[in-house]
A and B are shown apart, each in its own frame.
Chain A
């Protein structure tokens, strides 16, 4: 019994220590933003990497999500003669939930893994130590640009995903289910409020930060050559994905909970 309790205690202490390390890492990295030098070229490069190069996969995911949503809603709602709500369901689901969550998960898989692999490789090949010996703070040069780029770029990406997702729903609604185009667009706008879009963008900013943070953190502390880098990549994607789902609930509760 005592061994069992000790195991739980040790696991809990390890969790607290890991959380503390992560918070310290994030804090120290963000603190570098308040003193020069800042590396705008690095921030821009990361924004292009996160935003522009993720557009195809995010766009593809968003359009099919919107299309499936329209089709499923129609199938379900037709049982209650509520087909008219399809456009509203699509736009609210996409802007509030599916846009940010699916974009977040896609970017976590694509960008979070790449960040962990790149920084992890730099760690195990002494490139991070080399940065330090060249009077360059690795947190300022490697981590801060990625955190800022994630924070800024993901809302833009989610805005694009929202538009494409709603367009996907429109395509199915009008060309497959036979809705009147004007009526569909009217229903799309009718119940959409600013708060729906804003909540999605806030989620996107938080998710962008979390994806970059987990990618950088796991890469930065990777050990043990190729195997260590591989583990860092896996941990970065899994932890970012889990955090996205947990934070999604918490932000939804903050915006829409009673």
Chain B
């Protein structure tokens, strides 16, 4: 159900450097409404930087980022806060608030961001926790009392709690065992479908990418070097993609390994 006539997210000519290191270099990419786009690439290629630029957490040096056709670079603080209501984000390390209970973490965006009553927000939070397979007793715990897999589920529940239009997943399965990784992948697919959201995920876990993606884009050298449907990735004919998905050390992607 994708509509590329007006992409949900449209990025053009995006540039971002850290010191002399240019991480994103005239990057272009579109994501259609309702699409699940997965961006793959090696460590340090700028996948997280791209997502943080789209979210407005980092300021790009040049380029355009449009959400629903509206330019979002250089938005003022109040307009940015309002735009954020369209977004949900699952962080790589879950980024749960240590000082709050689990249900308060899930309900945070509803209470603080949207001014919802705590009682009502708690009901929604418990429903979202149930949707990711966690009972109400978990809601009373602190994040530090949960395992890594449970923390990821809570973070997923928080990302979908306000039923955002666009959900970002940053390395959703990193650090999890393969079974828990697959559970999280299933939950992502189910949650995104239920909410009817557009999803942008970044990962270097190919099993995860194949499971959750409608389209996959490969980021290398600050640009998208290949983009296509998830079913085409094994016959992409792109040497970067072939090397990456087969996990070969030899190929056009050279890892920078320096002798100590």
A: which residues have CB within 8 A of B? 37, 39, 121-122, 125-127, 129-130, 132-137, 141
Contact = CB atoms under 8 A, between A and B. Distances in A.
A134 B97 CA distance: 12
Candidate in A122, A127, A133, A136 with the most chain B CB atoms within 10 angstroms: A133
Interface stretch (B110-118, B123-131, B134-142, B252-260): B110-118
A40 B147 CA distance: 33
Contacts of B56: 132
Contacts of A122: 97
Nearest to A135: B113
A26 B163 CA distance: 34
A129 B84 contact: no
B121 to A, nearest CB: 12
Candidate in A127, A135, A141 with the most chain B CB atoms within 10 angstroms: A135
B55 interface: yes
B98 to A, nearest CB: 8
Contact of B93 (A39, A126, A134): A126
Nearest to B97: A127
Contact of A125 (B55, B57, B95, B158): B95
Contact of B89 (A130, A137, A141): A130
A125 B91 CA distance: 9
B91 A134 contact: no
Given A37-B112, A127-B97, A129-B57, A135 B84 contact: yes
Given A126-B91, A126-B95, A133 B112 contact: no
24 contacts: A121-B98, A125-B93, A126-B91, A126-B92, A126-B95, A127-B97, A127-B98, A129-B52, A130-B89, A130-B97, A132-B56, A133-B57, A133-B87, A134-B109, A134-B158, A135-B81, A135-B85, A135-B109, A135-B112, A135-B113, A136-B81, A136-B108, A136-B112, A137-B81
Contact of B88 (A37, A121, A125, A133): A133
Contacts of B55: 129, 132-133
B76 interface: no
A129 B95 contact: yes
Interface string B61-93: 000000000000000010001101101110111
Interface of B: 52, 55-57, 77, 81-82, 84-85, 87-89, 91-93, 95-98, 108-109, 112-115, 158, 162
Candidate in A121, A132, A134, A136 with the most chain B CB atoms within 10 angstroms: A134
A39 B114 CA distance: 14
B90 to A, nearest CB: 10
A27 to B, nearest CB: 13
The 3 closest A-B CB pairs, nearest first, are A135-B113, A134-B109, A126-B95
A135 B114 contact: yes
A134 B95 contact: no
Nearest to B56: A132
A134 B84 contact: yes
Contacts of A136: 81, 108-109, 112-113
A136 B77 CA distance: 11
A130 B91 contact: yes
Contacts of A133: 55, 57, 84, 87-89
Candidate in B56, B85, B108, B158 with the most chain A CB atoms within 10 angstroms: B108
A136 B113 CA distance: 6
Nearest to B108: A134
A125 B170 CA distance: 13
Contacts of A39: 112
Contacts of A134: 84, 108-109, 112-113, 158, 162
A26 to B, nearest CB: 16
B173 to A, nearest CB: 17
A81 to B, nearest CB: 59
B87 A137 contact: no
A30 to B, nearest CB: 14
Contacts of B85: 135
Given A129-B91, A130-B91, A136-B108, A37 B115 contact: yes
A141 B112 contact: yes
Candidate in B56, B96, B112, B113 with the most chain A CB atoms within 10 angstroms: B112
A122 B93 CA distance: 12
A130 B115 contact: no
A147 B62 CA distance: 35
A159 B233 CA distance: 70
Contacts of A135: 81-82, 84-85, 109, 112-114
A134 B84 CA distance: 7
Nearest to B48: A126
A132 B97 contact: no
Nearest to A32: B77
Contacts of A126: 91-93, 95
